[in-house]
Amino acid sequence: MIILQFLLALVILSILVLVHEFGHFFVAKKIGVWAEEFGIGLPPRIWGKKIGETIYSINALPIGGFVRLHGEVGEDKENIKNPDRAFVNKKALPRIAVAVAGVTMNIIFAVFCFSLIYAFTGVPRQVENGVVVTQVSESSPAEEAGIMPEDKILSMNGTLVDMNNLGMLIDENKGKNVTLETSLGEKNIFIRSEAPEGEGLLGVAFTNMEFVYPPWYVAPFEYFKNGVDDTIFFAKQTVLGFMSLFQDITSGQSPKGVLGPVGITLTLTEFVKSGVVSVLGLAGIISINLALLNLIPFPPLDGSRVVLIIGESIFGKKFIRKHEAHLHLAGMAVLILLIVVMTFNEIPKLISAGSISGFVESILQ
């Protein structure tokens, strides 16, 4: 079972990368660049078929994918067979559009993931009366009285309740029998005088929000609006996280909360156990991280390509293209080294945790 969950996690991560690469592929073809190959996985190639002018391939390493554009970076004129279809020969703005297309697709995919969550759960709304039970502790007074998650508590001994007064009413009536009016009828319940650690006197957690399904003719718009709001929220949180990471590095501190390939894959593997909503949420967050990470102007990330294209107007095309391939190669070497270091740091943590669940719990604390 765990192997299946792990493979599913790899598939999801590959989809995130393929969505990114499809953005480059789609816009490149729209502006007339020859897309020589669109690959699923990373080389060496296992299978490939040429359809039209593009080779569609399946490769040995089942992680992500790639797009190979004609005349993409640092190529000599002799290697450019079709100058009119070469990426380097297109104008600056179309090339920038290709560079940021992957980021755009990851943002769109995040909106899709978050919107789809609301199709499963409904849209949050503030309740007009009472509070909504979100959790009931085992062997608590609430459980013994038959209160269940998603029930509404409307009043206690005739007093209308809300988020502000329910806790106070429970405390005032500890050690007493009370009558709760709920969405399922009246419940007679004894409020204990003391509660176990981590529980309340009644044994419930509650909120003033509920999830409802809008009418079918407005539902897609409601889901989309909430998906956009979530994407903006997590994008802001990601930027703050990057800023905190940069501060840690510049101050000589060890970065906290940074996951490498092992950590990301195993975290997603663990989330697979929790069902489709959890997977969609994490996939959306990872997609946002992938988008914003690629905006960093460090080769070979997309942000560096935008900077180099802009730099051509300052330093000249000849100068930039002379050094572009070397910059990409050096940047790739640094990224690979970083991935190797992070992987070697995460494997001992996985071994010491003794399980994927323990490892994920330790890194999420």
Contacts of 340-347 spanning 24+ positions with Cβ under 8 A = 342/258, 342/259, 342/260, 342/261, 342/262, 342/263, 343/260, 343/261, 343/262, 345/260, 346/259, 346/260, 346/262, 346/263, 347/262
Check residue 364 and give its pLDDT: 64
pLDDT at 255 over 70: no
Cβ neighbours for 140, distance < 8 A, ≥ 6 positions apart: 199, 202, 203, 204
Check residue 257 and give its pLDDT: 64
pLDDT at 185 over 70: yes
Q: For residue 14, which of 66, 86, 70 has the smallest C-alpha distance?
A: 66
What is the pTM for the complete model shown? Answer: 0.86
Task: Pull the structure tokens for residue 287.
Answer: 């997609």
pLDDT at 114 over 80: yes
Read off the pLDDT of residues 195-232 as tens digits, 9 standing for 90 and up: 888 788 998 999 999 899 999 999 999 999 999 999 99
What value does the mean pLDDT take over residues 175-188? 91
Domain coordinates in residue numbering, the chain? 2-122+226-364, 125-212
Task: Pull the structure tokens for residue 57.
Answer: 């391939």
Task: Pull the structure tokens for residue 124.
Answer: 């949050």
Cβ neighbours for 206, distance < 8 A, ≥ 6 positions apart: 131, 132, 133, 134, 153, 163, 166
CA dihedral sign, ordered 305, 309, 312, 315: negative
Task: Pull the structure tokens for residue 102.
Answer: 């992957």
Check residue 214 and give its pLDDT: 93
User: ∠ CA 12-57-94 to the nearest 5 degrees?
Assistant: 85
Q: What is the mean pLDDT of the chain?
A: 88
Q: CA 101, CA 211: separation in Å to the nearest integer?
A: 34
Q: CA 268, CA 270: separation in Å to the nearest integer?
A: 5
For the domain bounded by 125-212, which CATH number is listed?
2.30.42.10
Check residue 350 and give its pLDDT: 78
Check residue 49 and give its pLDDT: 93
Q: What sections of the chain are H helices per DSSP?
A: 2-30, 92-121, 141-144, 166-172, 219-250, 261-272, 276-294, 302-315, 317-353, 356-364
Check residue 228 and give its pLDDT: 98
Q: Cα dist. 222→201, 216, 230 in Å? A: 37, 10, 12
Rounding to the nearest 10 degrees, give the CA dihedral for residues 23, 24, 27, 30: -130
Is the peptide bond prior to 44 cis by the omega test (within 30 degrees of 0)? yes
Read off the pLDDT of residues 32-91 as tens digits, 9 standing for 90 and up: 999 999 998 878 899 999 999 999 999 887 777 889 999 886 555 567 888 899 998 899
pLDDT at 108 over 90: yes
Cβ neighbours for 111, distance < 8 A, ≥ 6 positions apart: 224, 227, 228, 231, 284
Q: For residue 345, which of 265, 238, 258 has the smallest C-alpha distance?
A: 258
DSSP labels for 141-205? Answer: HHHHTT--TT-EEEEETTEE--TTTHHHHHHHTTTSEEEEEETTEEEEEEPPSS--TT--SS-EE
Read off the pLDDT of residues 116-149 as tens digits, 9 standing for 90 and up: 999 999 999 998 889 999 999 988 999 998 999 9
CA dihedral sign, ordered 105, 107, 109, 112: negative
Given pLDDT bands bounded at 50, 70 and 90, which one contains residue 194? confident
Q: For residue 114, which of 291, 232, 272 has the smallest C-alpha distance?
A: 232
Q: CA 206, CA 204: separation in Å to the nearest integer?
A: 6
